[in-house]
Structure 1
Amino acid sequence: MGAVDWIACGLAGLLLVSTSACASPGTAPAAARTAVASPTVPAPTATATPMPGTDGAPLDPETTPGVTLTGVGVGAPHQQPAFASKALDVLATLPVKGRAPKTGYSREQFGQAWADVDRNGCDTRNDMLRRDLTALALKLGTRDCVVLSGVLNDPYTATAINFLRGNSTSTAVQIDHVVALSDAWQKGAQQLSPAQRLSFANDPLNLLAVDGPTNIRKSDGDAATWLPPNKSYRCDYVARQISVKSSYGLWVTQAEHDAMARVLADCPDALAPTDQGEPPAQEAPPVQQAAPAPAPAQVQMAPAPVAPAQAPAYYANCAAVRAAGAAPIHVGQPGYSSKLDRDGDGVGCE
């Protein structure tokens, strides 16, 4: 089951609670404003830091508070599902086995609760509150780390929950381990290294801010024994459990497998959430450019022959003019000459 509040600091100036144990802020990010339904935050890869202070909320309803596991690096989990993998396809890859004995399980097997595994100066609980709540009010002097109030659109009950940090109010919003730590222990986590179990307990892929009482009712149930009351969220919930179990090499029981398959039958295209990005598009091989067609040969056309200029007509006498049918011949006509025009009236061979 998921973890309950473990608060870093009390309300400064608003509630009389201790803030002496606040984690020293480092480079905390600005307040998140993302939706709660499908967060995708990279799995942590750093080391644990000292546990923040508490406002009196219990650590985890499914267990008793564990001891601090220090000096342990966070081990890399198994590879998360590939981008856009269908949850049904990933479910088919999970081994189906019976539960292992719960012998040896305790909360401390998963390391320090709400460790600052990503070294951003904030404990995991406040990271998840900033990610999943809206209308945030953040404590001054914590570099936008400690959440004083906000609104949760709860995925488990489909209700809006007002969160107010305090001894008696913080448990209204709890951080759930979607795959409960106890359930993971009985289905393969015993074989993980301490560093990998610390990563599992603080992995944003496996964490959701949810309604506190509903989280307590869930306890450490798997999909065969508990599903969110909000039926519209069950596909996303089961898909997330499948992704988490695949990422850490855990198995499912037959009853759990069948329950997951029944839920996904109503949403066969549901995707397993993952941090894996879309693979870069492969460049198409260059298209071989066809050689340009040769230009048509330029045919040199011989110039058209020029007809030789006709020599001006010449008549030896009027007999020749009449023989050529040119009589009478007028001045300006080819072949006219004054010798043909004896009276000089401009008309020859009259």
Structure 2
Amino acid sequence: MHVRPASRPRRLASAVLAFGLASTLAGCVDDDPAGSGGRAGATSGVPADGVQAGRGSALEALDELEVKGRAPRTGYDRDLFGSGWVDTDRNGCDTRNDVLARDLTGETFRPGTRNCVVLTGTLADPYSGRTISFQRGQDTSDDVQVDHVVALSDAWQKGAQQWDGATRTAFANDPLNLLAVDGPLNMQKGDGDAATWLPPDTGYRCAYVARQVAVKVAYGLWATPAERDAMSGVLARCPDEPLPAATAVADQPETAPSDGASYADCGAVRAAGAAPIHVGDPGWRPSFDGDGDGIGCEG
């Protein structure tokens, strides 16, 4: 097992800004929102100035949220927000492993994955206040899950139906909207908003709601009247709670630069004599790694 070396160069990788910039350059317009790098307007879903979260207090920002009823859940599918965890910041690691590396302490990594696949670590769980040991494995990985603070289904019913696929993928992998948390509590939360679920640790509720406000403001999502009232009630007890800024996925080790290799599928990897392909190798794609072990196209 490899512990992240303290002296190894690291970089900050912001999935929302990197992915959003590519989408913006592709020419998305105001009523068909771009990726998470640019705010096209009140209905676009994404801010042009790099996510204006971080200014003022969360309570002040709450006034920016549009308030109206929940749209039908009809048509929702997780894959509409990208196929699982993807490598939007192109650092060679998928978003789940990036977030685990950010939020756990004392983490170790699977050998041969260039410090991408997290094997073990310790989580100071923000939702319960407990300390949880993480160990990757079929029966243990779900002890720690990566939560979408604003659930994808909730987003779908409050504005995301109008987004393009690039924006939804950026949203699902945006570190501002992701936290490693207690797995059972994440399952309990489901797609609940602030009106139906809050962390059991009351000391974390202000920060939790502030993050939800930041995400919704950043992406132009609305809130229901009950949700808005619940948010206001929590933040009234902490009126100076700051609005979280757009965050980078934690410090990650530099990965080997790409030599321009690109493979459409595992057949192309094998034809090029590059199989098995590892996380960080030129041409790597998370879709090559069906079992999540950091090694693709093994068969």
Q: Is TM (by shorter chain) over 0.5?
A: yes
> Residue in 2 aligned with 1:110?
81
Tell me which of 83, 96, 111 is aligned to 2:67. 96
Q: Residues 247-326 of structure 1: matches in 2 within 5 Å?
A: 247-275=218-246
Counterparts in 2 of 1:30 and 1:136: CA distance versus 1, 3 Å = farther
Alpha carbons 1:29, 1:144 under 8 Å: kept:
no
Counterparts in 2 of 1:179 and 1:154: CA distance versus 1, 3 Å = same
Read off the aligned partner of 2:19 and give its amino acid letter: A
> In structure 1, the residue corresponding to 2:212 is in which secondary structure?
helix
Counterparts in 2 of 1:82 and 1:123: CA distance versus 1, 3 Å = closer
- Cα distance in 1 for partners of 2:220, 2:35 equals 16
Residues 34-54 of structure 1, C-alpha deviation per residue, up to 9 Å, x if partnerless?
A: xxxxxx95625239xxxxxxx
1:205 aligns with 2:176: yes
> Residue in 1 aligned with 2:153?
182
Query: How many residues were matched structurally?
Result: 220
> In structure 2, the residue corresponding to 1:130 is in which secondary structure?
helix
- Cα distance in 1 for partners of 2:242, 2:111 equals 39
Percent of aligned pairs with the same amino acid: 58
Q: Which structure has the highest strand share of the two? A: 2
- Cα distance in 1 for partners of 2:127, 2:155 equals 21
Deviation at 1:257, TM superposition (A): 0.3
- Cα distance in 2 for partners of 1:120, 1:273 equals 24
Deviation at 1:76, TM superposition (A): 3.1
- Cα distance in 1 for partners of 2:15, 2:9 equals 14
- Cα distance in 2 for partners of 1:228, 1:31 equals 31
> Residue in 1 aligned with 2:19?
46
Deviation at 1:83, TM superposition (A): 3.6
Gaps spanning 5+ residues in structure 2: where? 3-7, 21-33, 39-45, 248-299
- Cα distance in 2 for partners of 1:105, 1:29 equals 41
> Residue in 1 aligned with 2:37?
76
- Cα distance in 2 for partners of 1:168, 1:30 equals 32
- Cα distance in 2 for partners of 1:82, 1:136 equals 29
> In structure 2, the residue corresponding to 1:241 is in which secondary structure?
helix
Alpha carbons 1:176, 1:210 under 8 Å: kept:
yes
My pick for the range that moved more, 80-89 or 138-147, is 80-89
> In structure 2, the residue corresponding to 1:117 is in which secondary structure?
coil
Deviation at 1:112, TM superposition (A): 1.8
Deviation at 1:128, TM superposition (A): 0.2
Counterparts in 2 of 1:215 and 1:96: CA distance versus 1, 3 Å = same
Q: Which structure has the highest helix share of the two? A: 2
Gaps spanning 5+ residues in structure 1: where? 1-10, 13-27, 33-39, 48-72, 277-350
Deviation at 1:81, TM superposition (A): 2.5
> Residue in 1 aligned with 2:285?
none
Q: Give the structure, 1 or 2, with the largest relative contact order (CA under 8 Å, sep 6 or more).
A: 2
| CA RMSD, 1 decimal | 2.5
> Residue in 2 aligned with 1:172?
143
Alpha carbons 2:149, 2:179 under 8 Å: kept:
yes
- Cα distance in 1 for partners of 2:81, 2:213 equals 20
- Cα distance in 2 for partners of 1:202, 1:191 equals 18
Deviation at 1:113, TM superposition (A): 1.1
Counterparts in 2 of 1:148 and 1:183: CA distance versus 1, 3 Å = same
> In structure 1, the residue corresponding to 2:187 is in which secondary structure?
helix
Tell me which of 159, 162, 179 is aligned to 2:133. 162
1:240 aligns with 2:201: no
Counterparts in 2 of 1:102 and 1:146: CA distance versus 1, 3 Å = same
- Cα distance in 2 for partners of 1:116, 1:128 equals 12
